[in-house]
Amino acid sequence: MRDAHRVVVKVGSSSLTRDGGSLDVERLNALVEVLATRRETGSSVVLVSSGAIAAGITPLGLARRPRDLATQQAAASVGQGALVAAYSHAFGTHGLTVGQVLLTADDVTRRSHYANARRTLDRLLDLGVVPVVNENDTVATHEIRFGDNDRLAALVAHLVHADALVLLSDVDALYDGPPSREGTSRIPVVRDADDLSDVRIGGSGSAVGTGGMATKVEAAAIATGAGIPTVLTSTAQAAEALAGEDVGTFFAPTGSRRASRLLWLAHATSPRGRLVLDPGAVRAVVERRKSLLPAGIVSVEGTFTDGDPADLCRLDGHAVARGLVNYDSAELPGLLGRTTHELARELGPSYEREVVHRDDLVLL
């Protein structure tokens, strides 16, 4: 952690706001002080910051975090401007420029959008800018959202080839039970999933945020599964965590890096439909890593369009893979059980294509 050249830091809403939901500039400035100090050592920093919806609560005269999507989007529209303005001012006192990057799940799973997101972040870092990343709550819908910024941070860490991920919140570590209970102990290191087999992980977020402890552990699993060491700790201990001191909980890498886009497809999307495959097609997709053709599909469930994610399932309903489909759900049923050569001969050469290409498919 101490020697990481490129670091992604995620901070939650509760660490940046007062009880009423308004932005706490003192807390924000204290965090920026830590990150600016890290930048002075030559490291690159990407900040994934929650707080847009929370920062919009007070200006809109709301009593609490809104529950309906339309009001959440309105609060995000008002609050995001205030949040980035505060970061611009705080980093500016250290001679650093920030760049706002707002993402939706579609931006990083659809092939045409994904490459641009990666290119933009890489260029910002090359120019010495501190990217401030958030989910684009103003336009995200329930169907195309990450759901919490912990998972977004883990995926961004993979996207920018980060050397480390730091998840900051109002909790200083993962414990083997409720932290308030007597006898509960901090878990200093998690080497693999077996270390958490006896740990009950709960929590669904604060009054102004959505990410509880379960989402943070899930985010750590996504990052470490891609070879990125992760620390979970409180915002107050950010400096110590970045310095490699024994604070919070350290999650050791368990896997190696794989294609970023496939990681996004597996963890950042919700399927719009399901394709039920015959046993031969399941073997072709899972064991031989082949593309999915119309001949191997038994049935189609759900409503989706060309380019949407869909789960590929066995006959018993178990999902074995997820992929981006090349047909919409209205057209696909008429093609099932037929070879691509048949379809091309009868309907034209544009139908000699896969339902899901193997490059757009990830095993679950």
User: Could you tell me which residues are annotated as the binding site for substrate?
Assistant: 50, 137, 149
Could you tell me which of 67, 24, 74, 68 has the C-alpha nearest to residue 49? Answer: 24
CA distances from 38 to 5, 32, 68, 141, 210 (A): 10, 10, 38, 35, 28
Grouping H, G, I as helix, E, B as strand and the rest as coil, residue 233 is strand
User: At a CB cut-off of 8 Å and minimum separation 6, what does 120 contact?
Assistant: 101
Q: Where do the H-state alpha helices sit in the chain?
A: 25-40, 52-55, 69-92, 105-109, 111-126, 149-159, 213-225, 238-242, 260-267, 279-286, 340-347
| Residue positions forming the annotated binding site | 10, 50, 137, 149, 169-170, 210-216
| Residue positions forming the annotated binding site for ATP | 10, 169-170, 210-216
Give CA angle at 128 (170, 46), nearest 5°.
25
**Conformational region of residue 42, where left means phi above 0, alpha means psi within -120 to 50, and beta covers everything else:** left
